């Protein structure tokens, strides 16, 4: 056999074999799948521990609160201590959280479990991005490893889609405890793979003591940032009856955070550098706006379908399913080819068209039209996530990619949480065509803003081929 005629593996294929990427994909998928698992377990949990169903919503909020802070913090820790160490520590936290939640018998224990799971799963994405960046640079790659980055996006999207049906199956077969216990085998598999197949981090000389580690990661800055995010989250969750005191606390904490980050030599978030990196800021804002619109469709339109059009919950899931499937299909080629400009324009235009479509919804609208309009947001979800991920990968240096990745996810969470606040404002006191149209009008405005941000960002023109 003439070996010279055989296809030769590329640098990317040699550097990113299946043993390296598989644990990273599993670790990154644990966060979105846990976000959706819990939805089917809230009612049986309430019955089992004898609390009102409304109180179990704190289990959803607990994970969001943990993730919104832990994502950038995990990125900073990955840069300081090594991504493999942080990845493994996160997997262990998920393991402990799964055992604690599955064996818990009161709401406080379950909340602690969800916080552990949220913190643990938050390490997956930023540490994976840093590991990928380090491997790409050591392999001499001059372009982002699109196929690998696309795998991260698809792993997150696919598990978020299948999380609800799997969660329902688990609860039906083995009870609500199974949505916690399922983390144990998943974490063990990821842990064994990572220990076996990911190279050890080099020794970290700057983090030998807790004091030097706290200074290296700016623990004080992380603490104040946590206060900012949590107070902002509490304010958004208080809508439509705004808690202005909490908002005032958030503003004061923002000022304190800005002041502190300007004083320390190794800030948690280098605000001066961020202020000069306009393309990165625009990437975050684009992603937040797109996430807000997409999650408004997922949470708001689905509520309208159930309440105003009297469609059963199971059927609503199938109506929205094409949106998720389209996003998964589109994410792969956009990431693999390192496309940025064209997908961002297409996603922004699709978001605008879809928002106008929602503006035209009424109780008399045929279901097929609703399926088509919601499916359009799949273009936004798939293309925007992939293209923005490629964009920020090229907009920061290797030693910044961990924190930048965490902040990317944090902005996505902010978009999701803001969408919930938007729905709470306009669907109060009741859900109707008029209230849906008010939400859609806001979506149209935000979509126009998102499209303008893409058009005016000239740096996008040189980030990739198209």
Both 432 and 326 in one domain: the answer is: yes
pLDDT greater than 50 at residue 4: no
40 to 8, 253, 281, 425: CA distances (angstroms): 47, 36, 36, 25
**Look-up: residue for tokens 């009870």?**
175
Cα–Cα dist 448/82, whole Å? 41
Q: Quick one: pLDDT at residue 307?
A: 81
Cα–Cα dist 265/215, whole Å? 9
- Do the domain assignments include residue 201? no
Both 213 and 229 in one domain: the answer is: no
Phi and psi based region of residue 218 (left: phi greater than 0; alpha: psi -120 to 50; beta: remaining): left
Residues 395/170, Cβ–Cβ less than 8 Å: no
pLDDT in tens, 20-32: 999 999 988 888 8
pLDDT in tens, 393-450: 988 888 889 888 989 988 988 888 888 788 888 887 788 899 999 999 999 999 999 9
Provide the pLDDT confidence category of residue 464 given band limits of 50, 70 and 90: very low
* Displacement of CA 396 from its chain's centroid (Å): 19
More confident residue, 360 or 8: 360
pLDDT greater than 60 at residue 461: no
pLDDT greater than 80 at residue 39: no
Long-range (24+ apart) CB contacts under 8 A made by 6-15 are 11/139, 11/140, 11/141, 12/136, 12/139, 12/141, 12/145, 12/147, 12/148, 14/139, 15/135, 15/136, 15/138, 15/139, 15/141, 15/145
Per-residue b/e over 357-381, b at no fewer than 16 CB within 10 Å?
Answer: bbbebeeeeeeeebeebbbbbbbbb
CATH number for the domain including 390? Answer: 1.20.1250.20
Both 60 and 158 in one domain: the answer is: yes
Both 294 and 339 in one domain: the answer is: yes
Please name which of 31, 16, 15 lies closest in space to residue 406, comparing C-alpha atoms. Answer: 31
Owning domain of residue 261: 219-265
Please name which of 263, 268, 269, 235 lies closest in space to residue 249, comparing C-alpha atoms. Answer: 235
Both 311 and 454 in one domain: the answer is: yes
**Look-up: residue for tokens 């408004």?**
296
Phi, psi of 287 (to 5 degrees): -65, -40
Q: Whole-number mean pLDDT of the chain?
A: 86
pLDDT in tens, 137-190: 888 887 888 889 988 888 887 777 677 677 778 888 888 899 999 999 999 999
Cα–Cα dist 59/46, whole Å? 11
**Structural domains of the chain, count:** 3
pLDDT in tens, 209-264: 677 777 778 889 889 988 988 888 788 777 778 889 999 999 999 999 999 988 88
Provide the pLDDT confidence category of residue 342 given band limits of 50, 70 and 90: very high
As given in the structure block, the two tokens for residue 198 are 């990911």
- Do the domain assignments include residue 5? no
Q: Quick one: pLDDT at residue 206?
A: 53
Both 321 and 368 in one domain: the answer is: yes
More confident residue, 319 or 378: 378
Residue 370 has, within 13 A of its CA and on its CB side, a CA count of 22
As given in the structure block, the two tokens for residue 322 are 């094409």
Both 110 and 257 in one domain: the answer is: no
Cα–Cα dist 199/136, whole Å? 14
Of the listed ranges 10-24, 81-95, 361-375, the least confidently predicted one is 10-24
- Do the domain assignments include residue 374? yes
- Do the domain assignments include residue 453? yes
Q: How many CB atoms lie within 10 A of CB 184?
A: 16
pLDDT in tens, 365-381: 999 999 999 999 999 99
More confident residue, 288 or 237: 288
Both 161 and 63 in one domain: the answer is: yes
- Do the domain assignments include residue 3? no
Provide the pLDDT confidence category of residue 334 given band limits of 50, 70 and 90: very high
Cα–Cα dist 370/7, whole Å? 46
Looking at the chain, the whole-number percentage of residues with pLDDT higher than 70 is: 92
Q: Quick one: pLDDT at residue 377?
A: 94
Please name which of 330, 383, 375, 368 lies closest in space to residue 354, comparing C-alpha atoms. Answer: 375
Q: What share of the chain is helix, strand, coil (3-state, %, to 5)?
A: 80, 0, 20
Q: Quick one: pLDDT at residue 1?
A: 44
User: What is the pLDDT averaged over residues 305-330?
Assistant: 82
Measured in residues, the chain has a length of 466
453 to 135, 278, 352, 446, 449: CA distances (angstroms): 32, 11, 13, 10, 6
Q: Quick one: pLDDT at residue 138?
A: 87
Residues 152/389, Cβ–Cβ less than 8 Å: yes
More confident residue, 207 or 405: 405
Both 285 and 140 in one domain: the answer is: no
- Do the domain assignments include residue 396? yes
Please name which of 276, 450, 256, 434 lies closest in space to residue 353, comparing C-alpha atoms. Answer: 450
Q: Quick one: pLDDT at residue 12?
A: 60
Cα–Cα dist 71/16, whole Å? 24
Cα–Cα dist 405/83, whole Å? 12
Please name which of 100, 98, 97, 102 lies closest in space to residue 116, comparing C-alpha atoms. Answer: 97
Cα–Cα dist 354/382, whole Å? 14
- Do the domain assignments include residue 461? yes
Q: Quick one: pLDDT at residue 7?
A: 45
Provide the pLDDT confidence category of residue 109 given band limits of 50, 70 and 90: very high
- Do the domain assignments include residue 1? no
Question: ∠ at Cα 129 (125, 130), nearest 5°?
Answer: 120
Q: Which one of 61-75, 104-118, 446-460 scores highest in mean pLDDT?
A: 104-118
Both 302 and 351 in one domain: the answer is: yes
As given in the structure block, the two tokens for residue 80 are 């300081």
Both 14 and 161 in one domain: the answer is: yes
Both 161 and 247 in one domain: the answer is: no
The last residue of one of the domains, among 156, 187, 218, is 218
């Amino acid at each position: 056999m003439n070996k010279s005629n055989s296809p030769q593996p590329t640098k990317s294929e040699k550097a990113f074999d299946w043993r390296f990427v598989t644990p990273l994909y599993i670790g990154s998928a644990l966060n979105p799948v846990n976000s959706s698992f819990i939805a089917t377990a809230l009612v049986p949990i309430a019955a089992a521990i004898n609390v009102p169903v409304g109180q179990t919503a704190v289990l959803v909020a607990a994970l969001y609160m943990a993730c919104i802070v832990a994502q950038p913090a995990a990125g900073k820790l990955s840069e300081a201590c090594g991504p493999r160490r942080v990845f493994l520590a996160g997997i262990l936290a998920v393991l402990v959280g799964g055992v604690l939640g599955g064996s818990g018998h009161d709401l406080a224990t379950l909340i602690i479990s969800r916080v552990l799971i949220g913190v643990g799963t938050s390490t997956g994405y930023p540490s994976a991005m840093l590991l990928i960046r380090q491997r790409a640079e050591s392999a001499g790659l001059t372009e982002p490893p699109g196929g690998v980055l696309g795998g991260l996006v698809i792993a997150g999207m696919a598990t978020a889609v299948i999380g609800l049906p799997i969660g329902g199956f688990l609860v039906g077969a083995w009870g609500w405890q199974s949505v916690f216990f399922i983390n144990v085998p998943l974490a063990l598999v990821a842990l064994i793979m990572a220990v076996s197949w990911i190279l050890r981090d080099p020794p970290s000389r700057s983090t030998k003591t807790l004091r030097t580690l706290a200074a290296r990661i700016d623990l004080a800055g992380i603490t104040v940032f946590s206060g900012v995010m949590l107070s902002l989250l509490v304010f958004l969750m208080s809508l439509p009856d705004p808690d202005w005191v909490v908002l005032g606390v958030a503003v004061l904490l923002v000022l304190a955070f800005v002041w502190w980050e300007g004083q320390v030599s190794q800030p948690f978030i280098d605000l001066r550098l961020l202020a000069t990196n306009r393309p990165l800021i625009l990437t975050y804002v684009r992603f937040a706006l797109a996430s807000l619109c997409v999650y408004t469709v997922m949470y708001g339109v689905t509520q309208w379908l159930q309440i105003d059009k009297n469609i059963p919950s199971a059927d609503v899931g199938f109506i929205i399913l094409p949106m998720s499937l389209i996003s998964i299909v589109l994410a792969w080629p956009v990431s693999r080819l390192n496309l940025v400009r064209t997908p961002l324009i297409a996603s922004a235009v699709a978001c605008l068209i879809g928002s106008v479509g929602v503006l035209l919804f009424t109780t008399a609208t045929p279901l097929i039209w609703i399926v088509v309009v919601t499916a359009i947001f799949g273009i936004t979800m798939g293309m925007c996530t992939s293209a923005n991920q490629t964009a920020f990968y090229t907009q920061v240096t290797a030693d910044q990619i961990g924190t930048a990745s965490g902040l990317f996810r944090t902005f996505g969470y902010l978009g999701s949480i803001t969408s919930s606040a938007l729905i709470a404002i306009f669907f109060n006191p009741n859900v109707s065509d008029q209230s849906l149209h008010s939400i859609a009008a806001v979506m149209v405005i935000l979509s126009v803003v998102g499209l303008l941000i893409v058009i005016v960002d000239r740096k996008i023109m040189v980030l990739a081929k198209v």
